[in-house]
C-alpha cells in the first residue's frame, strides 16, 4: 500500500476535489433531456470523471519542467509522483473514460473521444494561446454535458437541448480566459473577472430556457459563492484574489448544474444530489490545501 504522503500527492495530482464538477456536468446533461435513470447517469458521470482527471494529470505532465521552477511543491516536480507514472496514469484514465462511454453507446463514445482529444491538444500546445486555449476548455466542458445527454438517449430530439452544453461552454470559456490574467494587472483583472463570473452565473441557466422557480435557490447560491468568496479573498489577500475567484468559478458549476436539474425534472432528488457535491468539493479542497 502506498504511504500516506504518496496517496495525498496522487489526490492532488488528480484534483479529486474538482472531479465532482465533471460529474455534475454529466448529471445535468442526462437530466436536461427530460428523463432520469440513476444507473445511466452515474455511468456517464464515471466516464466524465475519468476524462477530467486524465486531462488534469496530463496537464501536470506537460508542465513538469516549468513547474520545477515556478511550482516545485507540486506532485511531479517534488518527486512524490514520478513523471512516467503520471503519464501512464493519464493515458489509463483517458482510455477508461472512452471505454466507459462506449459501454453507453457509440454516440457517447464519440463524444468522449472528442473530449480526450481536446484535453491532449490543450495540454500539449493550445494553452500557450489565450483564446484557442479558452475555446478548447470551454468546448470540452460543453461536450461533457453532451456526454450526459447522449447517455440519456434523447440528444437530438429537440434543438433547444443544445443550449445546455452551449451555456456550460461559454461559462468555462470565460473562467479559463480569466485565468490567463493571473500574472499581471491583478487588481483590475480580478474586479473585472468577478463581475463577469457573477453575471455568467446568473445568465447561463436562464439561457437554458427550462429554468423554473425551483432553480432559484441553487442559482442564487452560485452567485453568492462567487461574490462572497471573491470579496473575502480580496480583503484577506489581494494578491491571491484572482486565482481564488477562478477556482470558485469552476466549482460554481455544481450549483449551476443543480439549477438545471431542478428546473427540468419533476423529481428534485437529482438536483439536490448534485447540489450536495459542494460538500466533498469544498471539504476535500480545504483538506488537500492544508495537508
- Sign of torsion over alpha carbons 77, 80, 84, 85: negative
Please compute Rg for the chain using Cα positions.
Answer: 18
pLDDT one digit per residue (tens) for the chain, 291 residues: 455 578 888 889 999 999 999 999 999 999 888 889 999 999 999 999 999 999 999 999 999 888 888 888 889 998 899 999 999 999 999 999 999 999 999 999 999 999 999 999 999 999 888 889 989 999 999 999 999 999 988 655 555 567 778 778 888 887 787 777 655 455 555 556 656 666 665 565 555 555 566 666 676 676 667 666 666 665 666 666 667 767 777 888 888 888 888 878 888 899 999 989 989 998 888 888 755
Q: What is the pLDDT of residue 156?
A: 56
pLDDT at residue 234, rounded to an integer? 58
Helix orientation angle between 163-179 and 253-264, rounded to the nearest 10 degrees: 170
The pLDDT assigned to 210 comes to 53
State the pLDDT at residue 1.
42
Amino acid at each position: 500500500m502506498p504511504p500516506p504522503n504518496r496517496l495525498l500527492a496522487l489526490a492532488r495530482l488528480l484534483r479529486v476535489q474538482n472531479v465532482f464538477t465533471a460529474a455534475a456536468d454529466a448529471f445535468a446533461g442526462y437530466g436536461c433531456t427530460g428523463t432520469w435513470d440513476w444507473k445511466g447517469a452515474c455511468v456517464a458521470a464515471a466516464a466524465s470523471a475519468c476524462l477530467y482527471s486524465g486531462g488534469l494529470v496530463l496537464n501536470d505532465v506537460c508542465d513538469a519542467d516549468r513547474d520545477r521552477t515556478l511550482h516545485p511543491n507540486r506532485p511531479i516536480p517534488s518527486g512524490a509522483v514520478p513523471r512516467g507514472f503520471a503519464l501512464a496514469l493519464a493515458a489509463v484514465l483517458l482510455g477508461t473514460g472512452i471505454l466507459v462511454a462506449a459501454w453507453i453507446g457509440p454516440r457517447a463514445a464519440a463524444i468522449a473521444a472528442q473530449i480526450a482529444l481536446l484535453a491532449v491538444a490543450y495540454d500539449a500546445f493550445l494553452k500557450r494561446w489565450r483564446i484557442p486555449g479558452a475555446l478548447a476548455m470551454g468546448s470540452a466542458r460543453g461536450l461533457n454535458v453532451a456526454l450526459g445527454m447522449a447517455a440519456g438517449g434523447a440528444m437530438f430530439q429537440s434543438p433547444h437541448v443544445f443550449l445546455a452544453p452551449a451555456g456550460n461552454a461559454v461559462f468555462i470559456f470565460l473562467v479559463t480566459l480569466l485565468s490567463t490574467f493571473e500574472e499581471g494587472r491583478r487588481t483590475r483583472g480580478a474586479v473585472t473577472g468577478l463581475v463577469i463570473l457573477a453575471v455568467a452565473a446568473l445568465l447561463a441557466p436562464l439561457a437554458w430556457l427550462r429554468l423554473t422557480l425551483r432553480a432559484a435557490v441553487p442559482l442564487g447560491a452560485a452567485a453568492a459563492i462567487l461574490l462572497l468568496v471573491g470579496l473575502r479573498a480580496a480583503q484577506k489577500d489581494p494578491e491571491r484574489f484572482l486565482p481564488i475567484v477562478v477556482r470558485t468559478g469552476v466549482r460554481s458549476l455544481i450549483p449551476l448544474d443543480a439549477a438545471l436539474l431542478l428546473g427540468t425534472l419533476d423529481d428534485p432528488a437529482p438536483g439536490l444530489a448534485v447540489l450536495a457535491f459542494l460538500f466533498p468539493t469544498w471539504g476535500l479542497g480545504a483538506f488537500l490545501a492544508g495537508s
